[in-house]
Structure 1
Amino acid sequence: MTVTAPAVAAAPTTLNRITADDDLFFKLHSLYPNALVNQLAYRFDERLDPELLRRWHAHLATGFIARRIRTTRFPFARAHWEPATESLPLVWSPTPLPDSEILSWFLEQAAVEFDPARGLVWQLAGAHTASGGTVVTLVASHVACDGGGMMHAIVDALDRLNRGAEPDRAASAGRLVGPVAAGGRLAADLGDARAQLRAVAQGVRAARRARGVREPARNPRPAEPRLPHAPTWQAAETIVQLELAEWDAVAAAAGGTTNGLLVGVAVGLLGRSGRITDGADVRVDIPHSMRRPDDPRANATTGLPISVTYRAGARADLPAIRAALKAAGLAYQDPATVPPIQHLQPVQMLLPKVVLHRFARTAKAPECLCTNMGRTAQNIAVLGPHRARDVIMRPVVNPGPVELFRQVEVGVNLAFSCDDDTVTLVVTGGDPDRFPTRTALQDLLRAEFAAWGLTPRFW
């Protein structure tokens, strides 16, 4: 069952063409459906009326993530975004959840069947809890939005809901998605094809000039041990909260920053698991938003890779991490110091799915991914008259074949967000032989936090 949205209002005539990242995620969706997903989760102390969620759903259905991909057969021309006219319905659980099952419920809601061609790219769900509260989750395909795009959609929809405005694509961030292609599409596709061919030529030249630029190398995954697992495995995941004042004080005392401490904890966790050896240089990938005001792009993020040395029995060097982060940011501002692969994105967009699938089957996942969403929680904590006790955002790692996790060499993912008082970390251990269970992951985290003098509270 899907929900039909109101008719599309007048919009700009320029087609909103997909980016290289959109194209990559769309092609990967056909190989690994719904493997790349973002999730927002709320926990409220009081019971919310499901009708409030239905009204929020109506705003989301005419907002920034209400979009579908329309492909073209014109050679070299890119597909484009159009407003979605249908959406997946609100999922409301009729039975209150025991509090002990809240985390499992959050994780289960990420298993959604999306269809980017129809615009079925997000889903809202909610449930009351046995203790009298409410949990809410919004899941969105990475094809349709990155973390920044999802935040933009949420902020806009909540603002309109809380002001009592009616759902209206033309008056909301939904206006940025773009128009429905009408007459003149052939000429538009011809012009885009020409532009893409020029972009390919420019990208190849830039890649040649930057051929001496090297990114930090990743560590190969050790073949042993191999623990017994079922054929399908769910990555170990946990949510942990800490006092923001304590976090900032520890970072400052060690000569680092909030972001640097996040990276330091992640590298220490990876080392404690046995995934890397003493003295290894760990490649840490850090998403960096390139989003501008009124940006129509679904995905507008680049990755900043840095190298961090792991020392067994010692805490990570936060001043060195701080310097590495600064150097990486400066390097990505100059085309001459951007790695060649970044310049070749227009070439990637011309590759057919069969070629990209072949590359994807041998590609490797990040060994250490650290996403810092900053003080986003306080911007989206209010839903109608209610303020959430907890707000969580995370990149989702859905269940899959255990051998696939070993093959792509998933490591650890840490997602950081905070409000004025509390740090919330969503931690995923994607190596089945180093983080076999949630308990094992939490034990390693407790040891790492203790080394820093941090006091965690696990969900």
Structure 2
Amino acid sequence: MLQGVWRSDDAVDHVELAAIHSNLSLGPLGRRVVTPTMPFARRRWAPSTDSLPLEYDTSPLAVSEVLDWADAQGECDLDPETGPSWRLSARSTDDGGTVLSLVCSHVVADAAGLIEAAGMALTGSVPPESYAYPISDVCDAAALVWRVSKAALLALAGLLFSRRARSELRDYVRASSEASPHEMSVSTAVFDIEARLSNSEFISVVTDIMVALGQHEPVAINVPFRSNIPGANGIGMATVHTSRTDSLAEIKNACKRAFTTPAGAPSGFPAEMVQLLPERAAAALTSAPGHAAALCSNIGDLPDAVGVIGSHRASTVATRALHPHSGSARTTKILSAYLSTLNGTSTLSLVGTDPALIPSSDTLAEQAHAVLTDRQLTARSWR
């Protein structure tokens, strides 16, 4: 689940919040997943105005409790198939300001999609969504089976004649079998940093935080990036291994090298083949990539449209992914870090999941603040 959290020094009235809520229903988040009855046909989008009601509590919330309130907003039931798939809530703060939370299913949008939808809703510039299907489910299923079958046969043939392909497949299977997932226990921290951090600085800071928490070096870090490969997913995932002694130039070069070999299907097998498999089998096949201990997702500069709440300026905006109803879920990720920048201020959002290294949100906040202070970065904690 994705979340954007806006803080404003002003009191935002219910009328403006209701308008934003209505705009979200009509914008890019106003959709749901439709599963075709035709076997092997791909799922598609359909417009949907279903939404949870706007929640606006005007009783003053202590500023020190803003992050706890934001964490609680993710504990809701969102369903991208039956709807609703997003939720908007707001709360007045005891300093006269307002905090706004927008959460949505990660199926409905990625970070860029959530920011685009929020910008449209916040400024009132909501274009009509168009869902055109140029081919029938029968044709779509036939085309998918043909593409996957042809590519899979070529990949199988490659295994017979290419030692490199066989090695890639072995590494892929080994990565999955060697993973040691732990039960999730979520801890959070958010800091506003009076500086614009580069991607290399961001990764370096997270490396220091991981080591401060007790992680061994080098630290394996997943770095998502925009992919320009034709026909590929819009987001690629690369993995770098960093240490505290690495310079920013070394980290930058390591990222460049990793971006040329992103995680994905091994040995030429088509990524689309998971769409033809049962969900459990697809999940098992896609679990191998990305077993890094940390994630560094740099959202980058937020557009001006996201820097407002109706007629009021946002003082800061945090962007992150949450893990609602995690219960007994297991993961190999220890820490996920998200960075976004608004008006020259970088907001660092941290989400920890390993209770062995991060027993509480206070521990995460204290260790992160110590690292930021040691690096002479002026940072204000949300806790």
Taking structure 1 as the reference length, what is the TM-score of the superposition? Answer: 0.72
1 CA distance for matches of 2:75 and 2:267?
32
Candidates 74, 93, 96, aligned match of 2:38: 74
Matching of residue 304 in structure 1 with residue 238 in structure 2: yes
Match of 1:240 among 191, 198, 213: 191
> Which residue of 1 is the match for residue 223 of structure 2?
286
1:44-443 equivalences in 2 (<5 Å):
44-160=8-124, 171-172=127-128, 174-175=129-130, 178-179=131-132, 188-204=136-152, 205=154, 208=158, 211=165, 212-213=167-168, 234-244=185-195, 247=197, 258-276=198-216, 280-290=217-227, 300-308=234-242, 310=243, 314-331=244-261, 340=266, 343-356=269-282, 366-376=292-302, 378-398=304-324, 400-401=326-327, 404-405=329-330, 408-443=331-366
TM-fit CA distance, 1:432: 0.5
Give SS of 1:340's match.
Answer: coil
What's the CA shift for 1:222?
10
SS at match of 2:273: helix
In structure 2, the gaps of 5 or more residues are none
One-letter amino acid of the structure 2 residue matched with residue 193 of structure 1: A
In 1, Cα distance between the equivalents of 2:288 and 2:236?
21
Take 1:237 and 1:338, find their aligned partners in 2: how far apart are those partners? 29
**AA partner of residue 265 (structure 1):** V
TM-score (norm 2): 0.85
C-alpha distance in structure 2 between counterparts of 1:364 and 1:302, whole Å? 11
1:321-379 deviation digits (Å, cap 9, x = unpaired): 111111223345xxxx9652784321111111243466689998541100101111644
What is the identity, as a one-letter code, of the residue corresponding to 2:239? Answer: P
Check 1:454–1:203 CA distance in 2 against 1; reply closer, same or farther (3 A cut). Answer: farther
State the shift of 1:449 in Å: 2.3
- Which amino acid is the alignment partner of residue 370 of structure 1? C
Counterpart-to-counterpart distance in 2, 1:193 and 1:222: 35
Q: Residues of 1 paired with 2:179 and 2:324: CA distance?
A: 23
Alignment partner of 2:3: what SS? Answer: strand
One-letter amino acid of the counterpart of residue 259, structure 1:
N
| RMSD between aligned residues | 3.2
State the SS of the aligned residue for 1:369. strand
- What's the % identity of the aligned pairs? 27
SS at match of 1:417: strand
2: CA distance, partners of 1:421 / 1:343: 43
SS in 2 for 1:72: coil
TM-aligned CA distance change 1:362 to 1:338, over 3 Å? closer
2:143 corresponds to which letter in structure 1?
Answer: A
Instruction: Give 5+ residue unaligned stretches, structure 1.
Output: 1-36, 162-166, 224-231, 248-257
CA distance in 2, matches of 1:360, 1:331: 16
Partner residue, 1:30 = none
Q: C-alpha distance in 2, partners of 1:415/1:148?
A: 13
Question: CA–CA distance in 2 between the matches of 1:361 and 1:325?
Answer: 22
Q: Supply the AA of the counterpart residue of 2:70.
A: F
1:264 Cα deviation after fit: 1.2
